[in-house]
Amino acid sequence: MNATPSSTDHRDHTYGTDHAYGTATDRTEPADREGRTVHLDTAGWGTMPAAVRALVADCASREDRYGPHELEEDLEDVLRTEVHERLGALLGVPAADTAVVTDAAGAFDALVSRLAPGRGERVWTTPYESAARLTALYALRDRTRCTVEVVPLREDGDLDLEWMARHIGDDVALVSVVHVPSGCGIVNPVEEIGQILAPYRCVYAVDASYSAGQLPVDAGRIGCQLLTGDGWRFLRGPYAVGFAFLAPRLRAAFEDAAAHRPLPPNAAVAGLNAALAHHTATTATTATTVTAAADGPAGLAGQGLLPALRAAVEECPGTELIAPGRVQSAILAFRHRDLPAALVRRRLAARGVVVWKTVAQETPLHLPRSGATTALRASLGPDTTPQDIARFGRALREVVREETAGAQRPRPARTLPPAPTPVLASAPAPVPPAGPRPRPSARRHLTLCPTP
Q: Is 120 left (phi over 0), alpha (psi -120 to 50) or beta?
A: left
Q: Please answer whether residues 7 and 265 qualify as being in contact, where contact means their C-beta atoms are separated by less than 8 angstroms.
A: no
- pLDDT recorded at residue 4: 36
Cα separation, 452 vs 442, whole angstroms: 30
pLDDT mean over 346-355: 97
Its sign, for the CA torsion 23, 268, 84, 65, is: negative
3-state SS of 309-363 is HHHHHHCCCCEEEECCCCCECCEEEEEECCCCHHHHHHHHHHCCEECEEEEHHHC
Angle of helix 248-258 relative to helix 104-112, nearest 10 degrees, comes to 100
DSSP-based three-state secondary structure for 249: helix
Radius of gyration of the chain (CA): 26
Q: Is the pLDDT of residue 433 over 90?
A: no
What are the tens digits of pLDDT across the range 214-248?
999 999 999 999 999 999 999 999 999 999 999 99
Cα separation, 446 vs 424, whole angstroms: 48
pLDDT band for 367, please (50, 70, 90 cuts): confident
Q: How many residues does the chain have?
A: 452
How far are the Cα atoms of 88, 102, 175, 235 from residue 238, in angstroms, in the given order? 19, 11, 29, 9
Phi and psi (nearest 5°) for 331? Answer: -120, 135
How far are the Cα atoms of 75, 246, 247, 295, 377 from residue 96, in angstroms, in the given order? 18, 9, 10, 42, 36
- Burial state string for 210-243 with b = 16 or more CB within 10 A and e = fewer than 16: bbbbbbebebeebbbbbbbbbbbbbbbbbbbbbb
pLDDT band for 123, please (50, 70, 90 cuts): very high
Distance between start and end Cα atoms, the chain: 61
Q: Is the pLDDT of residue 81 over 70?
A: yes
pLDDT band for 413, please (50, 70, 90 cuts): low
Q: What letter would DSSP give residue 127?
A: T
Q: Is the pLDDT of residue 289 over 50?
A: no
Residue type, 30: P
How far are the Cα atoms of 28, 48, 144, 179, 385 from residue 308, in angstroms, in the given order? 23, 24, 48, 23, 10
What are the tens digits of pLDDT across the range 249-260?
999 999 999 888
Q: What letter would DSSP give residue 368?
A: G
Is 344 or 434 the better-scoring residue by pLDDT?
344
- pLDDT recorded at residue 258: 86
Phi and psi (nearest 5°) for 98? Answer: -105, 160
pLDDT mean over 434-448: 49
What are the tens digits of pLDDT across the range 239-280?
999 999 999 999 999 999 988 889 999 999 999 999 999 999
Q: What letter would DSSP give residue 223?
A: T
Worst-scoring range by mean pLDDT, 144-153, 348-357, 369-378? 369-378
Could you list the beta-strand ranges (E) of 157-253: 172-178, 203-207, 226-230, 242-246
Q: Is the pLDDT of residue 22 over 80?
A: no
- pLDDT recorded at residue 286: 62
Query: How does strand 147-150 pair with strand 122-125?
Result: parallel
- How confident is the prediction for the chain on average, in pLDDT? 84
Is 117 or 441 the better-scoring residue by pLDDT?
117
Cα separation, 123 vs 175, whole angstroms: 6
- pLDDT recorded at residue 417: 67
The kind and range of the H/E element at 98 are strand 98-101
Q: Please answer whether residues 356 and 182 qualify as being in contact, where contact means their C-beta atoms are separated by less than 8 angstroms.
A: no
Is 305 or 420 the better-scoring residue by pLDDT?
305
CA 428 to chain centre: 61
Cα separation, 379 vs 356, whole angstroms: 9
Contacts of 25 (CB under 8 A, 6+ apart): 285
- What global pTM score does this model have? 0.81
- pLDDT recorded at residue 287: 52
Q: Please answer whether residues 402 and 50 qualify as being in contact, where contact means their C-beta atoms are separated by less than 8 angstroms.
A: no
Q: Please answer whether residues 175 and 124 qualify as being in contact, where contact means their C-beta atoms are separated by less than 8 angstroms.
A: yes
